[in-house]
Chain A
């Protein structure tokens, strides 16, 4: 234990970028349906620049991230260093408009806002 799964190491990871995801597999190749859902939701909002960590590559990190957030499952989404939730929460935030707002707070303009604008033009 320890090392890459220590509180200090995890803290560094969650703070290294406004959007950090701990998942199974990678954004290019998710290895779990729930991790894939997170990647797809972020993609819908035009968020392609984020840090993704494959917990399958690092058992210490896999346990460390669960201890850090006191949350038993993967994927885990962090916005501005703060734990937001897993796939279910991200999905609900996407559906109720909260995700667009949270991204705006990070200075990220959701692609869906532009999609809506295009719709209005038609």
Chain B
């Protein structure tokens, strides 16, 4: 999917995540609610996740998006550290 077809919600979330995860090597946000902004899928790969338990990694994303999450029905999170 090209950059041009990103929804406003997706772009905003990518911006927030770039700010909160400056060491991220990959960030992808997909609106999985048909463009309604109700549910998102978040993929982030960052050095900041290394050696952290998955629930901790996901908590970091929850904290980063705590404002935005208030307006969502749900979200899916996939985190990883880059392959060394």
Contacts and interface: CB of A to CB of B under 8 A. Distances in A.
Interface of A: 34, 70-73, 83-86, 88-89, 92-93
Contacts of B74: 34, 73
Nearest to A84: B55
A14 B75 CA distance: 23
Interface string B14-36: 00000000000000000000000
Contacts of A84: 55
Given A72-B69, A93-B54, A88 B59 contact: no
Contacts of B76: 88
Interface of B: 54-55, 58-59, 62, 66, 69, 74-78
B62 A89 contact: no
Contacts of A93: 54
B59 A71 contact: yes
A89 B74 CA distance: 14
A19 to B, nearest CB: 16
Contacts of A73: 74-75
Contacts of A70: 59, 62
